[in-house]
Structure 1
């Protein structure tokens, strides 16, 4: 399993175990793709998904590993561009006995649907987390004339936990924060202020702000304005019944009586357990926020309504289409995926990898995308010799430009991971 962030590590590791055919033992080798969002040891421990081995490497190093070592199945738990690069890179290896390739999405797919899907096309299995998603995925592939047989309906692999039962004397509200939703400082401060005001309005209620990462750590998305720092600036400080918490989301949900979020995948975990769940409308119901995905869910509510005691009730038909399996059918959600994997392993003579994006269908897009992962347009790793050949073909100006861009990307990653957190600590938000 190759992953590039903490959330994708969690999805990939748990998916690998869920899709293993019955009766087969699994030895899960985990690899972290080195980059901006490479998780820390603490983040990996927090997500609660383990592998039998763990190594960090670049994409080209991973391809060399596949040339040297044999694997039955490779789960690509990566951003779309990285999936596409690995598909072309693995294809270029020309392995006589290649592994089956599986990919999918970490959570709610509310933006860049066609872009993300077409970048994943070419894998043997593209997992959909619900019946709703499976239909959308097939429509995109068929709409561009690409095969849709790879789309396989499953579910999020981390749903689970005990069904919600109110506990005498317990009244806990949890706000599930997201790194980049909402994006602006003003919107994030607004949500934090309303959460704190909710705690003050209900002094006997425990109000928790569930955070994904600590200041300085990176996740799938860059968090420009951490709630931890914003909380330090709130006038009057924080009430005694308000706390910032970290840890595994499932463990937090064990003691939750109301889950509040803008559009976090935690909402699906909560709904799966039948915990009252609120999707905030305070900032509008808008595509950039992702809360439009929950139209029809029965969960949309504002802070004013929650302050007044409203508890949303999820629509069961909507929940079923979204794969939260609140009716208890979750145990069979991966049956189809396991059967598909078993068939691929039994066939062994797997067909060539045929992504939709090729030098013919996307000549102005694919080469640049592959170059970001140090691959040539034909999928082979870029080497000193073919860099020199490219220089002769395209001129010195392009070589200089590409070198500067590579240096800039490195500087950006360093700034995001190292410099920005220091500036935040020193400056005033």
Structure 2
């Protein structure tokens, strides 16, 4: 039942990266059926207990990344998939948010179905996407099918999601339109002093050294052309850290080879705080563009490298925000298309306060359902996808029926100091391989 004065609503979030933890925790607060709430706070001041679980893997966030996200939790611990399933069997929650990649969501849905098969009550299970969905639409959606709610961050996404599910004759009733949970902040009212240009970098877009160097050089050139402006390169992670995507060529390393002007700086921190002082947001295809548009900050999606699916900027066709550095240097300022913006869940019209009402109402009804909720029913089963599903489950040490495989890691307590040292060393070796060895091997292969 929804939270009351005597019984707090118990909410769990399982995330596999810093950005997904941010999305999952803020979403949980937004959709908890006690009220709308504000980012980072419990819904409408309701008595909610939020337990966070971080799935152990290459992108498990560091303490610095978690601190930068700034979302509070009553408890937070790192787990394997099997450890998480054990916790879900032993603990009782009202709401569970799966903030994972598609394969992780699918594995957890099958594992949860298995461990809850003899329980009369289970939590409402929710999943969705961190931001813009511009690739692997069908694959990602079908891997998320089976959750009670599959959240769509915009009207356009909701329509696309339902079309995919209906196209394979899967139940589309779980698709629920909301908005990105981290939108907010004061609307842009005019230029700051100094005028500030921010480039929102992405870990994996673009991928090549040539393209990333090009973008960095153009940003530095813009700073030199406009010494009266402050030009900021907003970075997602520090070298050695991983976020949702792997970053082989960090801009920090590329910038070390350049003579940077005094009005150019690299910055980290909360995106909302950076937008507080932004006069022009520039990106290739980052979700930061939607945050900026929500606040009516002048926003540019670059076309310098083409408008391509691989870059994700094709999603912004029709937005009115597409432009090149040459156009920006010449003084061009795009005007966003209001109809396009309205379909993207940006809610710059002030409707954001009600964007999560439908999800809260649906969760309230599910929690109040007599006799509890039915078993989870993912679209993928050993019958519908016998050549695909077992491999997805095995990556999380689960068998075809969702049962943990023999020898699956499932510690009963926190790892000792030796195990922690070994784990850190292994992660360091992995990241060194991704950021240093892999690019060298790739270049050798191109000779």
TM exceeds 0.5? yes
Q: Distance in 1 between matches of 2:267 and 2:105?
A: 33
Q: Distance in 2 between matches of 1:5 and 1:39?
A: 5
Q: What's 2:211 paired with?
A: 187
Q: What's 2:131 paired with?
A: 107
Q: What's 1:139 paired with?
A: 163
Give the structure-2-normalised TM-score. Answer: 0.87
Q: Does 1:212 align with 2:226?
A: no
Residue 167 of structure 1: how far off its partner (Å): 3.8
Q: What's 1:397 paired with?
A: none
Residue 418 of structure 1: how far off its partner (Å): 4.6
Residue 65 of structure 1: how far off its partner (Å): 0.5
Change in Cα spacing, 1:160 to 1:340, as seen in structure 2 (3 Å) is same
Asked if 1 retains the 8 angstrom alpha-carbon contact of 2:304 and 2:324, the reply is: yes
Q: Distance in 2 between matches of 1:28 and 1:70?
A: 12
Secondary structure of 1:304's counterpart equals helix
Q: What's 1:15 paired with?
A: 27
Q: Distance in 1 between matches of 2:384 and 2:437?
A: 44
Change in Cα spacing, 1:198 to 1:136, as seen in structure 2 (3 Å) is same
Q: What's 1:200 paired with?
A: 224
Residue 422 of structure 1: how far off its partner (Å): 7.2
Q: Distance in 2 between matches of 1:148 and 1:122?
A: 10
Residue 416 of structure 1: how far off its partner (Å): 2.9
Q: Distance in 2 between matches of 1:49 and 1:134?
A: 27
Asked if 1 retains the 8 angstrom alpha-carbon contact of 2:158 and 2:176, the reply is: yes
> Which deviates the most, 152-161 or 50-59?
50-59
Q: Distance in 1 between matches of 2:243 and 2:113?
A: 29
Secondary structure of 1:74's counterpart equals strand
Q: What's 1:374 paired with?
A: 397
| CA root-mean-square deviation | 2.1
Secondary structure of 1:28's counterpart equals strand
Q: Distance in 2 between matches of 1:98 and 1:382?
A: 23
Q: Does 1:312 align with 2:366?
A: no
Q: Distance in 2 between matches of 1:423 and 1:96?
A: 51
Q: What's 1:230 paired with?
A: 254
Q: Distance in 2 between matches of 1:105 and 1:169?
A: 36
Residue 218 of structure 1: how far off its partner (Å): 0.5
> Which deviates the most, 44-53 or 324-333?
44-53
Residue 165 of structure 1: how far off its partner (Å): 1.2
Q: Distance in 2 between matches of 1:209 and 1:411?
A: 30
Q: Distance in 2 between matches of 1:168 and 1:12?
A: 33
Asked if 1 retains the 8 angstrom alpha-carbon contact of 2:149 and 2:175, the reply is: yes
Residue 168 of structure 1: how far off its partner (Å): 5.2
Q: Does 1:26 align with 2:38?
A: no
Q: What's 2:69 paired with?
A: 47
Asked if 1 retains the 8 angstrom alpha-carbon contact of 2:194 and 2:228, the reply is: no
Structure 1 residues without counterparts, runs of 5 or longer: 386-409
Q: Distance in 1 between matches of 2:105 and 2:85?
A: 12
Q: How does 1:119-134 map to 2 (within 5 A)?
A: 119-134=143-158
Structure 2 residues without counterparts, runs of 5 or longer: 1-12, 36-45, 409-423
Secondary structure of 2:49's counterpart equals coil
Residue 26 of structure 1: how far off its partner (Å): 1.2
Q: What's 1:390 paired with?
A: none
Secondary structure of 1:287's counterpart equals coil
Q: Distance in 2 between matches of 1:423 and 1:215?
A: 15
Q: Distance in 1 between matches of 2:382 and 2:310?
A: 32
Q: What's 1:254 paired with?
A: 276
Q: What's 1:417 paired with?
A: 431
1:141-188 CA-partner distances (Å, limit 9, x unpaired): 000010000000000000000000114533000000000000000000
Change in Cα spacing, 1:115 to 1:422, as seen in structure 2 (3 Å) is closer
Higher share of residues assigned helix: 1
Q: What's 1:392 paired with?
A: none
Secondary structure of 1:368's counterpart equals helix
Residue 25 of structure 1: how far off its partner (Å): 2.4
Residue 96 of structure 1: how far off its partner (Å): 2.5
Residue 22 of structure 1: how far off its partner (Å): 2.1
